[in-house]
């Protein structure tokens, strides 16, 4: 059966149309491809297919740089020409916010990622661990599979994290013991937090002989317990831009940070532009203050709220250490909570997880912020939140797309709203 690939959808699946059998979704297809396909399954009323062979390749199709691109579940767009990534991802954001976009809306499309520059690579990663023959492999799982994909180097993560993974593979292959389930690592300005999920006994960290490797702080998680494996414990920091220079905030092993350093700085710089002249900012889903502490260091007063107790403690400790006018509270922002302290902000900043912030958006008539900035990591939830905000009389002043995970089907958005 022959099909024409019309468009790439968010998350990286392609939509193909046939003359007699309707539409199908599939992976590793590029807009403009003419392909021969084999129907595979239906899920929730959506028909899927696999590519048998490419009849006529799209002008946007390239040979993947990654040797495991066809089987790894980590990247969905390895076959797409890099200059097209930002254009297509920007279109996803425009489509999600289309009902709210007017002639007065400032539109800022995503910039192309420079994968030759370390700040565009992923600095945060979770590797699954698996025994394969006599070797132990750390990596991403295959698409719709539990198999961990072996590769000598992952092209989307930093060199330091690649080296760390190789050291762990060597060490674990030499140990006659049960393996950890996964390893989480986040590279910060002055070192790397590594959290090993290991239930059986105390994990022995490998000796990293490479003097070029950053400081590594090892941790072990067993159930709800998290303990350091090397002492003294290194406090690690992220260096963030402010209107007056930079500020270093302490980040714990499981505190959220953006996966790409350049993208995180992009978000903060845009916030500084949009927040210029504001005095009082409420930050919901504040984490460790990644977004609002740079605003506080630029002269604004901050009140934040976050569900995670540990992140709230770290955020307040950062504010105290830096002598900033910022304080943070614990609150479950997906349930009913006391909104009294958060009413009447000059600007309300919301950076929710993937499921969005519809509950918060419904509270806008009571929260009454003069301005509103939302940061979304999922265009589907962004579309729902945008419709809710629009219904309360706010208008979309500016919209920005960000490609923080190059080669993936992931896109982020920032939107500025005013009454």
Residue 409 has what pLDDT? 93
Is 361 one of the annotated active-site residues of the chain? no
pLDDT at residue 246 above 80? yes
The residues facing 70 across adjacent strands are none
Report pLDDT digits (tens) over 37-59: 999 888 888 999 999 999 999 99
The residues facing 225 across adjacent strands are 222
pLDDT at residue 417 above 90? yes
Residue 42 has what pLDDT? 86
Class of domain 2-61: mainly beta
Mark 149-182 as b/e (b = at least 16 C-beta within 10 Å). bebeebbbbbebbbbbbebbbebbeeeeeebbeb
Closest CA to 251 of 189, 307, 202: 189
pLDDT at residue 188 above 70? yes
Residue 325 has what pLDDT? 98
CB-based contacts of 200, cutoff 8 Å, min separation 6 = 177, 178
Residue 21 has what pLDDT? 85
Residue 298 has what pLDDT? 97
How does DSSP assign 119-178, residue by residue? GGSB-EEEEEEEEETTEEEEEPBBTTSSPBPP-S--TTB-HHHHHHHHHHHHHHHT--SP
Residue 43 has what pLDDT? 86
- The long-range contacts involving 394-398, CB below 8 angstroms and separated by at least 24 positions, are 394/364, 394/418, 394/419, 395/100, 395/102, 395/104, 395/419, 396/97, 396/100, 396/101, 396/102, 396/105, 397/104, 397/105, 397/106, 398/105, 398/106, 398/107, 398/108, 398/274
Residue 13 has what pLDDT? 93
pLDDT at residue 211 above 80? no
- pTM value is 0.94
Contact 256, 288 (CB under 8 A): yes
Residue 344 pLDDT class (50, 70, 90 cuts): very high
Residue 209 has what pLDDT? 64
CATH code assigned to 83-115+236-418: 3.40.50.150
Q: Where in the chain is the domain with CATH 3.40.50.150?
A: 83-115+236-418
Q: Where in the chain is the domain with CATH 2.40.50.1070?
A: 121-188+191-228
pLDDT at residue 210 above 70? no
Closest CA to 271 of 343, 348, 324, 323: 348
Domain 121-188+191-228: CATH architecture, name and number where available: Beta Barrel (2.40)
Summarize the confidence of residues 69-77 as an average pLDDT: 90
pLDDT at residue 164 above 90? yes
Summarize the confidence of residues 382-387 as an average pLDDT: 97
Q: Which residue has the tokens 């062979």?
A: 53
> Which among 75, 167, 361, 377 is annotated as catalytic?
377
Residue 364 pLDDT class (50, 70, 90 cuts): very high
How does DSSP assign 317-352, residue by residue? HHHHHHT-SEEEEE--TTS----GGGTT-SEEEE--
Q: Which two tokens stand for residue 79?
A: 């076959």
Residue 172 has what pLDDT? 87
Q: Where in the chain is the domain with CATH 2.40.50.140?
A: 2-61
Per-chain mean pLDDT for the chain: 94
Cα–Cα dist 181/198, whole Å: 7
Report pLDDT digits (tens) over 276-321: 999 999 999 999 999 999 999 999 999 999 999 999 999 999 999 9
Residue 143 pLDDT class (50, 70, 90 cuts): confident
CA–CA distance from 194 to each of 171, 249, 252, 254 (Å)? 15, 18, 10, 9
Summarize the confidence of residues 264-273 as an average pLDDT: 97
């Amino acid at each position: 059966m022959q099909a024409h690939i019309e468009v790439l959808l968010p998350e990286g699946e392609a939509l193909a149309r046939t003359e007699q059998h309707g539409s199908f979704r599939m992976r590793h297809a590029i807009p403009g491809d003419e392909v021969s396909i084999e129907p595979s399954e239906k899920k929730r009323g959506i028909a899927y297919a696999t590519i048998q062979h490419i009849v006529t390749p799209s002008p946007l199709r390239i040979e993947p740089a990654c040797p495991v691109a066809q089987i790894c579940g980590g990247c969905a767009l390895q076959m797409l020409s890099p200059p097209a990534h930002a254009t297509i991802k920007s279109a996803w954001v425009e489509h999600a916010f289309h009902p709210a976009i007017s002639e007065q809306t400032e539109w800022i499309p995503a910039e192309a990622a420079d994968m030759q520059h370390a700040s565009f690579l992923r600095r945060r990663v979770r590797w699954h661990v698996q025994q394969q023959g006599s070797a132990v492999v750390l990596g991403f799982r295959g698409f719709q599979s539990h198999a961990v994909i072996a590769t000598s180097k992952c092209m989307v993560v930093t060199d330091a994290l690649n080296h760390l993974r190789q050291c762990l593979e060597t060490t674990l292959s030499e140990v006659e013991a049960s393996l950890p389930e996964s390893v989480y690592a986040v590279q910060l300005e002055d070192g790397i937090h590594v959290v090993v999920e290991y239930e059986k006994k105390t994990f022995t960290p490998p000796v990293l002989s490479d003097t070029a490797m950053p400081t590594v702080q090892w941790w072990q998680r067993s159930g709800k317990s998290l303990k350091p494996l090397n002492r003294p414990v290194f406090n690690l920091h992220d260096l963030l831009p402010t209107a007056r220079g930079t500020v270093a905030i302490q980040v714990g092993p499981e505190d959220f940070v953006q996966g790409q350093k350049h993208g995180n700085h992009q978000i903060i710089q845009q916030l500084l532009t949009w927040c210029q002249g504001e005095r009082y900012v409420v930050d919901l889903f504040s984490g460790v203050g990644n977004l609002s502490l740079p605003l506080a260091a630029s002269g604004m007063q901050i009140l934040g709220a976050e569900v995670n107790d540990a992140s709230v403690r770290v955020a307040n400790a950062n504010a105290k250490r830096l002598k900033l006018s910022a304080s943070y509270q614990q609150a479950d922002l997906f349930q009913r909570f006391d909104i009294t302290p958060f009413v009447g902000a000059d600007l309300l900043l919301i950076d929710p997880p993937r499921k969005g912030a519809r509950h918060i958006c419904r509270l806008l008539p009571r929260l009454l912020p003069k301005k509103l900035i939302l940061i979304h990591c999922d265009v589907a939830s962004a579309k729902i939140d945008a419709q809710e905000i629009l219904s309360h009389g706010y208008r979309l002043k500016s919209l920005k797309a960000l490609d923080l995970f190059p080669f993936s089907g992931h896109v982020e958005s920032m939107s500025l709203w005013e009454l």
